Amino acid sequence: MLGFRTLLGGALCAAAVTFAAFPASAGGGTQVAAQSTHPFVVRAVINEGAAEIPRDVSFSLHRLNGNGDAELAAEASGGIAELAVPQGEYLLTTTYGATLKQEFVQVHNPASAPHTVNLNAGEITLSVIPGIGRPALQHPIEWHILTYGRDSEGHRHVLHEVTDSRPYLVLPAGWYFVAAHYEGRRLTHTIEVGAGNRFDYTLVQPR
């Protein structure tokens, strides 16, 4: 079973590969016709009005069954993707960088116009300097992107992790709590991600 998680870190449901064609009956009996498929064209933009993202986007369509599980029907990656599936309702999952969006879509016959996913996201970079006016550290830093708010027990939750001296991230618009771990130190900072904007955040190492 293939499991997948939302950006919020909760398991959504298990998924298994499904096939559009039914097998022929045994013993030379009547063959069951394959279920016809229809093209579903999809693309993604960082925010409303932006140009389509040209590469590194992952799309998947899952069909929900009666017991709450989701079966993987098709997947693709790149920029614009064309997925061939039988007509019906699907859960579309779009992933770009640290951004994940899920929505229900309908596949029709004849095919509808290309579907555009608005990620409502922004771009950020993160870095650490050892003091005001000093150059940024170049060695790897472990970054944790956490929820800005806390749960009922007072805890924040890790949404994304990356190890890099100056990572570039695409995140859904909103507020986050960032923690940098390196050389036994831990620096934290609250950041905002604006839809369609890029912010460069620098954390200053205390003396």
Task: Check whether 16 has a pLDDT greater than 90.
Answer: no
Split into its structural domains, the chain has a count of 2
Non-local (6+) Cβ contacts of 68 within 8 A are 13
Q: Binning pLDDT at 50, 70 and 90, where does residue 73 land?
A: very high
**Same domain for 156 and 109:** no
> What pLDDT does 37 receive?
87
**Same domain for 144 and 96:** no
**Same domain for 174 and 93:** no
Q: pTM to 2 decimals?
A: 0.73
For residue 80, what are its two tokens? 């614009």
Give CA angle at 29 (26, 34), nearest 5°. Answer: 80
DSSP string, 49-98: TPPBP-SSEEEEEEEE-TTS-EEEEEEEEESSEEEEE-SEEEEEEEEETT
**Same domain for 108 and 8:** yes
Strands of 168-172's sheet in order across: 168-172, 121-129, 198-204
Q: Kindly state the average pLDDT of the residues 193-204.
A: 95
Task: Check whether 15 has a pLDDT greater than 90.
Answer: no
Q: Binning pLDDT at 50, 70 and 90, where does residue 34 land?
A: low
**Same domain for 8 and 68:** yes
Per-residue model confidence as pLDDT tens digits over 76-114? 999 899 999 998 899 999 999 899 999 999 998 776 789
